[in-house]
A = this chain, B = another copy of it.
Amino acid sequence: MIPNAGSTSADLHELAQRHHTAYRSVGAMVYGLLQEAILSGTLRPGQKLRQETLAEQIGVSRLPVRSALIQLESDGLVEFHDRRGATVRSISPDQAREVYRIRALLEVDALKQSMKRSSPERVKRLRELAKAADGQHEGPEFVEARTQFYAELYDAEHNPITWEMIEQLRLKMGRYVLGWRVVGGSHTHSHEDLVDAFASGDATKASALLRKHLAEVLKGVLSWLDAEATGTD
């Protein structure tokens, strides 16, 4: 049925099954599908993304694929090469360091802002979300759980633009964080620790913990980048 059935093709097909559930538009479906494929590593950094091949594997026309690729370019997950197609964007160690430096800036600020609006209800909700996030260690459920937790932690409701920026940066690194996690990265239940610091009301302490957490993840990502560059492939 499908011309070149490699392992990538098989994986994409499996993803397509789950993503066939109610989406408002085909373009949105393809976008979500490709994003997950990149984040999960099914599509590797540097890999060429031929529109027609992707369209056939997913089972749609090339047009929604194009739309999705354009969006993914804005997200920084894929790269367009003038008239030579698109590739999965890879990241350099220097860029990873830069991302985590900016994230520290934004997230520490967001956390401080958010803690000003602390309330028993929010702490309760945070505990629940933290538990859920610490329970999931892989797959799109992990991404989703973490996202919900941080949305509450940083009060996305009241700081939509800050949240948007943070999400963007998290998305850029998502592929590497996931890879590192899977091979046995930190499972130190840091989310619940963060909630404790949040609940204590001590902004300095919470900021320090957050910084430490980010530094640890950066370390993991860097080691994963190194392993990927030398090891597999």
Binding site for B on A (CB under 8 A): 24, 66-67, 70-71, 74-76, 82-83, 95, 98-99, 101-102, 105-106, 109, 159-162, 164-165, 169, 172
Looking at chain A's contact residues, the main secondary structure is helix
Complex CA–CA separation, A159 to B71 (angstroms): 23
Residues of B within 8 A of A105 (CB): 105-106, 109
CB distance from A126 to the nearest CB of B (A): 22
Q: List 26 A-B contacts (CB under 8 A).
A: A24-B82, A66-B67, A67-B67, A67-B70, A70-B70, A70-B71, A71-B74, A76-B164, A95-B160, A98-B159, A98-B160, A98-B162, A99-B161, A101-B109, A101-B162, A102-B106, A102-B109, A102-B161, A102-B162, A102-B165, A105-B105, A105-B109, A106-B106, A161-B169, A161-B172, A165-B165
Other 9 A-B pairs with CB < 8 A, given A71-B74, A98-B162: A24-B83, A76-B164, A98-B159, A99-B161, A102-B106, A102-B109, A102-B161, A105-B106, A106-B106
Complex CA–CA separation, A69 to B7 (angstroms): 35
Complex CA–CA separation, A1 to B102 (angstroms): 51
Task: From A74, A95, A102, name the one whose CB has the most chain B CB atoms within 10 angstroms.
Answer: A102
Complex CA–CA separation, A75 to B161 (angstroms): 12
Task: From A70, A83, A159, A169, name the one whose CB has the most chain B CB atoms within 10 angstroms.
Answer: A70
Task: From A95, A105, A159, A162, name the one whose CB has the most chain B CB atoms within 10 angstroms.
Answer: A105
Given contacts A71-B70, A74-B71, contact A161 B95 (CB under 8 A): yes
CB distance from A82 to the nearest CB of B (A): 6
CB distance from A72 to the nearest CB of B (A): 10
Residues of B within 8 A of A101 (CB): 109, 162
